[in-house]
Amino acid sequence: MGKKLNPTLKQIAELTGFSQASISMILNRRKDVSFSDETIRVVMSAAESLGYDRKIAQAGARRLFGEGLVAVLCPNISNPYYSTLVQAIEQSAWEKGFQVVTFNTYRSPEVEARNLELLRKAGIDGIIFTMRPLESGALARAIESIPTVVIGDKGSTFNIDTVEMDNYSASVLVARHLIGLGHKRVAYISTTLDPNNTIRLQRLRGLEDTFRAECPDGSITVRSRDVTPAEELGDLFIEHRVGFELAGESLPEGAETAFVAVNDMVAYGVIDAVIAAGFSVPGDYSVCGFDNVYPSRLSPLSLTTVDNYIVDKGHNAFVMLASRMAGVKENSKEHTPDIITRVEYPPRLIVRGSTAVACERKGTQR
């Protein structure tokens, strides 16, 4: 007996008179579009009469992607933090015979949801998020059948295996370092600050709480700019640009002696703004970042930053995912996240050439 083949969309379209696009949406049970009950009945009846089998269709999607495939969802790969993280995941995946495909979401909930739905239907083996998931509905549907790991911030409320770092404590280290150097007035420079960006908020809170407790006569000035998904997609250097522009707004006022950037890429923009204005780092202004991406250690000016253990987190995330995938395969049933694993990396401040004792400038209060 020959292998059963699914009918093509063209064959169903010829039989029903409906477009192939409409038929595809009906057969895939798309929830974001609607058709009349009669249209759905006609299409499903025609498909069944031609031998349509939904399981075979899903298997075809799986063959398209291949076996042993893991998806990585990240905001972008222009920031070395994410590109390094993806490559670290790939290093561990290749050792185990898995391939990795990367989806950039540009922090768009809609794009994330669309990607998750695609991966769910394609029968992907596992998913790794390199940031906090944004679309809880699509996420809930995906984790019902797909092993998933999140690389994020301590305190995540998702019932998912997580590799995390305590960004609040990381920021406390930065604050104490600057206070020890005599800096009392600090500017926090950040891209979008909202509940979806918990890491950025935790870094700010750590600064504010530490200065409030250990340097009560000091202050933290917050300067942030919202970045839309379209901007993140359209501008490869948006983080550097935000750092440059926001630091440029602070410099004429001359009140701060140090800048803390939300990440190293924003910190580079801050440094360039300081130099463009005729000042020096760290002679006139100290600058700190977070992540410790590779360029941050380069001469002539290396960046004081918090090590984010990027490579280690990438490797660990895949190990956790591989364990979860092996459990699903062994049980031969749908993925049911029962015992959740959380691995936390302790923050480590790396002091380099971008910070020094606070410099007294004319008109600046110390």
What is the DSSP code string of 86-138? Answer: HHHHHHHHHHTT-EEEEEE-TT-HHHHHHHHHHHHHHT-SEEEESS----HHH
Is residue 317 scored above 90 in pLDDT? Answer: yes
Under the banding of pLDDT at 50, 70 and 90, the label for residue 329 is low
Residue 363 Ramachandran class (φ > 0 left, ψ -120 to 50 alpha, else beta):
left
Domain 68-165+310-347: CATH class, spelled out: alpha beta
d(CA 356, CA 366): 15
For 93, the token pair is: 């995946």
Torsion sign across C-alpha atoms 76, 77, 78, 82: positive
Which of 310, 343, 340, 313 lies closest to 324, judged by CA? 340
pTM: 0.80
Ordered by start, the domain boundaries in the chain are: 9-52, 68-165+310-347, 167-308
Identical fold, 68-165+310-347 and 167-308 = yes
pLDDT of residue 298: 94
d(CA 215, CA 183): 9
Start-to-end CA span in the chain (Å): 87
Q: What would the pLDDT profile of 149-166 be if each residue is shown by its tens digit? A: 999 887 666 789 999 999
pLDDT of residue 4: 47
Q: What would the pLDDT profile of 116-159 be if each residue is shown by its tens digit? A: 988 887 878 999 999 999 988 889 888 888 999 999 887 666 78
Angle subtended at Cα 71 by Cα 70 and Cα 74, rounded to the nearest 5 degrees: 145
Average pLDDT over residues 261-268: 98
Torsion sign across C-alpha atoms 150, 152, 153, 156: negative
CA-to-CA separations, 52 to 11, 33, 122, 297, in angstroms, rounded: 11, 21, 17, 58
Under the banding of pLDDT at 50, 70 and 90, the label for residue 19 is confident
pLDDT of residue 335: 47
Q: Hey, what amino acid is at 233?
A: L
Domain 167-308 CATH assignment equals 3.40.50.2300: yes
Which of 248, 242, 238 lies closest to 285, judged by CA? 248
